[in-house]
Structure 1
C-alpha cells in the first residue's frame, strides 16, 4: 500500500514539474515572439529607401542604364508582413546592386563612380548579412538603411557633377594638354639601360 502511495506521489510531482516546464516554455515563447515582433516593427518602420532619382541626370539614366533602373525599382518595392519577406528582399537588392558594375554608361565609367558603387554594394551586402542572422540586430539594419540612402545621394550627385562638367566648353588646346598628362599614352623609353660598370667621365 505504501508502495502505491509513493508511486502515486512521484507521478503527481512529475506531472506538476512537466506542467511547470510547459508554462515556462510558453512564457519564453511569448517573450521571444514579442522580441521578434519588436524587431520586425522597427525594421518595417525604418525600411525607407530613396528609390526616386534626386536629380534630372539620374532620372535620365533610368531609361538607358537598365541595371540602375532595376536596382531603384527593387529598392522602392517594400516587403510586407514577415521578417522573412525582408530577408528575401534584402537578398534581391544585394544581387541588383552587384549588377550595377555591369554596363556602366561610358560617361560614368570612371574611378570615382566605380568606387561609390563599390561602397554602396558593401553597405547593401552588410545589410543582407545582418538581416539573415539568427538574432537580427535591428538597430544595425536601420542604421545601414540610412547609410545606403547617403551613398545613393552621393552617387547621384557625382553623376550630376560629371554631366555638368561635360557641358563646360573646353578651351583651345585643353584636350591636347590633357592627352599629354595621360601617362598611359606616354611613349615608352626605348633607350637601352645604362651599364653601371662603364666608367664615368667627369
Structure 2
C-alpha cells in the first residue's frame, strides 16, 4: 500500500514538474514572439526608401542605365508580413547595389560617381549584415535605411551636377589653356631663353671691376 502511495506521489510530482516546464516554455515563447513582433513593426515602419528619381537626369538614367533602373525597382518593392521577408529583400537589394558598378554610362564613369556608389554599397551591406543577426538591432537597421536614402540623394545630385557642367559652353581659348596645362602634350622649347639687357650690362660691369 505504501509503495502504491509513493508511486502515486511520484507520478503527481513528475506531472506537476512537466506542467511547470510547459508553462515556463510557453511564457518564454510568448515573450520571444512579442519581441520579434516589436522588431518587425519597427523595421516595417522605418523601411521607407527613396525609390523614385529626384531629378530629371536620374529619371533619364532609369531608361538608359538598366542596373540603376533595376536597383530603384528593388528598393521600391517593400516586403510584407514577416521579418524573413525583409531579410530576403535586404539581400536582393545588396545584389542590385553591387551591380551598379557594372555598365556605368560613359558620362557618369568618373571618380565622383564611383565613390558615391561605393559608399552606397557599403551602407547597404551593413544593413544586410544587421538584419541577419540572431538578435536584430532594429534601430540600427532603420538608421541605415535613412543613411542609404542620404547617399541616394547625394548620388543623384552628383549625376545632375555632371550634366549641368557638361552643358556649360567653354570660353574662347579655354580649350587651348587646358591643353597647355596637360604636361603630356607640352612641346619642348628648343630656343634659348633670351638674357635681359640689364643682366648683360650687370655682367659687363662685374668684369670691369675684376
* TM-score interval (norm. to shorter): 0.7 to 0.9
Q: Distance in 2 between matches of 1:129 and 1:186?
A: 51
- Where does residue 19 of structure 2 map in the other structure? 19
- Where does residue 32 of structure 2 map in the other structure? 32
Matched, 1:3 2:3: yes
- Where does residue 160 of structure 1 map in the other structure? 160
Q: Distance in 2 between matches of 1:183 and 1:32?
A: 67
1:175 Cα shift?
Answer: 2.7
Q: Distance in 2 between matches of 1:185 and 1:73?
A: 45
Q: Distance in 1 between matches of 2:115 and 2:47?
A: 25
Counterparts of 1:53-68 in structure 2, within 5 Å, are 53-68=53-68
Counterparts of 1:1-202 in structure 2, within 5 Å, are 1-182=1-182
1:11 Cα shift?
Answer: 1.6
Q: Distance in 2 between matches of 1:44 and 1:88?
A: 14
- Where does residue 198 of structure 1 map in the other structure? none
Aligned residues between the structures? 187
Q: Distance in 1 between matches of 2:6 and 2:155?
A: 77
1:143 Cα shift?
Answer: 0.3
Q: Distance in 2 between matches of 1:9 and 1:95?
A: 62
Question: Secondary structure, in 3 states, of the residue corresponding to 2:150?
Answer: helix
User: Which runs of no fewer than 5 residues in structure 2 stay unpaired?
Assistant: 188-210
CA 1:107/1:2 → structure 2, altered by over 3 Å: closer, same or farther? same
User: Which runs of no fewer than 5 residues in structure 1 stay unpaired?
Assistant: 188-202
CA 1:33/1:182 → structure 2, altered by over 3 Å: closer, same or farther? farther
Q: Distance in 2 between matches of 1:64 and 1:128?
A: 28
1:177 Cα shift?
Answer: 3.0
Per the normalisation by structure 2, the TM-score is: 0.85
Per the normalisation by structure 1, the TM-score is: 0.88
Q: Distance in 2 between matches of 1:183 and 1:122?
A: 37
CA 1:25/1:180 → structure 2, altered by over 3 Å: closer, same or farther? farther
Q: Distance in 1 between matches of 2:186 and 2:29?
A: 70
